[in-house]
Amino acid sequence: GLMRRHSQHPLTATGWMSMPAALAMVLNSSFAVLPTFFNVSITVLLPLGSLMWVLSAAITLILGFMILVNSFAAGNSLQQFHFGILFQPLVYGLNAIPGIAMSSYVTGVLKYMTLLGGLTLFSVGGVIGALAVIFLFLRLLEHGLPPQRTAPTVLLLLPSISVYTIFVLRLFHFINHTTPFFPPIIFTLVALTGFGVMLVSTLLGLLLLLLFVKEHIPFSSTWWSFVCPMVALSVLTTITFVFVKHP
């Protein structure tokens, strides 16, 4: 009904993808907490978890496709692109992680279906993220800095990097669990690479923010673009401790 009443405004806001992002986070948290909390095997929760994951992935793909098509159909210029578009690859990555996680607990055809689904979401998100970075770089070259209200969203790069690093760590863990192949140093190198890229992105975000200091950009500790990087750093640190096992 909302779409019909506002048909003159096609779906373009990436904020709509907060819904599948929330579903994916609920799913990730549930698999980590519920088996211990209720003292049940994780395999008991797999049917419900699979349904939630398929729903979240479907919403992500449908909304993501609609947003991209409507954005390009509108003929927006490079000047209208901003860092908020980086939210899309983040959501794809969030939905890819449950797929690769469930692959470690299921068997048969379902194992390869969840693995393929996770890899597909990972790949689509990676392509969109690469295109977003290219568009934003071209925008900076042609039109300079983005508006003040969108400048802090460059820090969205950090949670995206964190999510994709976690996915790669889980993928290597899955392969190693199936057919021992990767030496432990590989996990350490992947984690260090993730932290290194996050550091570079942090410096980029800080440089952009410093350029806006002269414009007296308002600051609040509740900025989602300020809070998200802190959460990303915390989560990546915890996951690294689990996979690398070197405090």
Q: Mind listing the pLDDT tens digit for each residue in 51-107?
A: 888 889 999 999 888 888 877 776 666 666 666 677 888 899 989 988 888 887 777
- pLDDT score of 92: 92
Range with the poorest average pLDDT among 32-41, 121-130, 140-149, 158-167: 140-149
Per the CB < 8 A criterion, the answer to whether 31 and 40 are in contact is: no
Query: Which of 120 and 137 is assigned the larger pLDDT?
Result: 120
Q: Is the pLDDT of residue 24 over 80?
A: yes
- Binning pLDDT at 50, 70 and 90, where does residue 149 land? low
Give the residue ranges of DSSP H helices in 38-156. 42-73, 87-102, 109-143
Average pLDDT rounded to a whole number, residues 220-245: 76
- How far, in Å, CA of 188 to CA of 208, rounded? 30
- pLDDT score of 6: 46
Most confident of 31-35, 91-95, 230-234: 91-95
- pLDDT score of 119: 92
Query: Which of 217 and 138 is assigned the larger pLDDT?
Result: 138
Q: Is the pLDDT of residue 233 over 90?
A: no
- pLDDT score of 28: 77
Residue 105: how many CB atoms within 10 A of its CB? 16
Q: Is the pLDDT of residue 1 over 50?
A: no
- pLDDT score of 221: 62
CA angle 179, 57, 115 (to 5 degrees): 10
Please write the tens of the pLDDT for every residue from 112-123.
888 899 999 999
Average pLDDT rounded to a whole number, residues 25-38: 77
pTM metric for this prediction: 0.79
Q: Is 213 exposed, middle or buried (0-12, 13-18, 19+ CB in 10 A)?
A: exposed
Measured between alpha carbons, how far is residue 214 from residues 143, 174, 211 in Å? 19, 49, 7
Q: Is 223 exposed, middle or buried (0-12, 13-18, 19+ CB in 10 A)?
A: middle
For tokens 């939210």, the residue is 87
- pLDDT score of 72: 74
Measured between alpha carbons, how far is residue 25 from residues 4, 117, 142, 180 in Å? 30, 17, 37, 29
Q: Is the pLDDT of residue 145 over 80?
A: no
Query: Which of 1 and 213 is assigned the larger pLDDT?
Result: 213
Q: Is 185 exposed, middle or buried (0-12, 13-18, 19+ CB in 10 A)?
A: exposed
In order, the DSSP letters of 106-134 are --THHHHHHHHHHHHHHHHHHHHHHHHHH
Average pLDDT rounded to a whole number, residues 230-244: 82
Mean pLDDT of the chain: 78
- Binning pLDDT at 50, 70 and 90, where does residue 7 land? very low
